Amino acid sequence: MKGITVLGSTGSIGVSTLDVLARHGDKYRVVALTANRDVEGMLLQCEQFRPEIAVMADANAANRLAKGLSDRDITTEVLSGLRGLEIAASMPAAHIVMAAIVGAAGLLPALAAVRAGKRLLLANKEALVVAGSLFMKEVAAHGAEILPIDSEHNAVFQCLPTGGDGDLVSGGVKRILLTASGGPFLTTPLEQLATVTPAQACAHPNWEMGRKISVDSATMMNKGLEVIEAHWLFHAKAEEIEVVLHPQSIIHSMVEYVDGSVLAQLGNPDMRTPIAHALAWPQRISSGVDSLNLFEVAQLDFEQPDLRRYPCLELAYQAIQAGGTASVVLNAANEVAVDAFLSQRLAFTEIARVVDETLQRLPVQSVEDLDTLLAIDGEGRAIAEQVMQNRVLSSGIG
């Protein structure tokens, strides 16, 4: 029986992971759960799975959780903060670690799992977006194993020879085709985008996701981050990764080979499929996902993304070409801008403009070490906040 740590257990990916694990209690045991501040959600999960460790973001949430567990006679040890996350990610009893903490906050615990040589199920894009080069070097140095959880990267992994080990050329791969739904504003007139609301942006047509990721899907920054992630995961150049709009979200991604073959992975839009695949790989286990009914699907559509509608996608490609710290700044500025949009302090169309201006203000540097990356991340956030405030004042929002 394999021990599992779920980082970010009360989020959408974490909940889906626990759903799959609950179906296979004979194969997996939950040894650690972590969450931000959802004490009630964590209490329910601890009651069901009885982990050895539960981690909350801060001492206040941890104290509330500890009291709730004590009232229920549950002996789970409660920890808090970054140190608690790193302990949960690297504990000997954990054979597999699900990295599902959203944003740059997930980087350090994911690195802790890598340095402990774990099988890391990577649902946190930012680990590779912020620290791709350093992260992959740590994976090689410590014999860790990365299996992608994003539906697109998991699909690519399934379509590549030997799961994507080695370079694409030796495997006969011509290019990777990442599919994208286009989000909720695929057909919205461009002139109306400036006035869309957070509720509209979070109403994804196919997937149930958290608010930040939903906004990233609406701007297609999510896809841009996935392009950067694919660049590191599969040793792919920017020109070897193409984004294809596919509104039905049935084909999760494709791989084209030099002989003209195109392999695609299809399935219903449900994150339990890639989660189950990565948990059991190279075997297969049931996920609880309904079988795909091709007769109901009937039609699959594809088109090129319009960069006037999705300027964030173009910014991500530019960050790959720039190299160094560009993707760190891209991610930091985007998190600041999306947070401002969700709190109704910034217009939807201003997100890309804040990111673009922040990238222009911060010169690209070579990546020296993790401390350098974290310092650049902080500087990017500070500059993005200044840019955002200036744009808010000039636009009259707030």
Strand partners, 266: 251
- Which residues are known binding-site members for NADPH? 10-13, 37, 124, 126, 210
Residue list for the binding site for 1-deoxy-D-xylulose 5-phosphate: 125, 151-152, 181, 204, 217, 222-223, 226
Annotated binding residues, as ranges? 10-13, 37, 124-126, 150-152, 181, 204, 210, 217, 222-223, 226
How far is it, in rounded angstroms, from Cα 137 to Cα 284?
Answer: 29
| Segment 283-288 long-range contacts (CB within 8 Å, at least 24 positions apart) | 285/20, 285/23, 285/24, 285/27, 286/23, 286/24, 287/20, 287/23, 288/19, 288/20, 288/23
Cβ-based neighbour number of residue 232 at 10 Å: 20
Cβ pair 75, 46 in contact under 8 A: no
| Residues contributing to the annotated binding site for Mn(2+) | 150, 152, 226
- Written in H, E and C, the secondary structure of the chain is CEEEEEECCCCHHHHHHHHHHHCCCCCEEEEEEECCCCHHHHHHHHHHHCCCEEEECCHHHHHHHHHHHHHCCCCCEEEEHHHHHHHHHHCCCCCEEEECCCCHHHHHHHHHHHHCCCEEEECCCHHHHHHHHHHHHHHHHHCCEEEECCHHHHHHHHHCHHHHCCCCHHHCEEEEEEEECCHHHCCCCHHHHHHCCHHHHCCCCCCCCCHHHHHHHHHCHHHHHHHHHHHHHCCCCHHHEEEEECCCCCEEEEEEECCCCEEEEECCCCCHHHHHHHHHCCCCCCCCCCCCCHHHHCCCCCECCCCCCCHHHHHHHHHHHHCCCHHHHHHHHHHHHHHHHHCCCCCCCHHHHHHHHHHHHCCCCCCCCHHHHHHHHHHHHHHHHHHHHHHHHHHCCC
Residue 117 has a CB neighbour count (10 Å cut-off) of 14
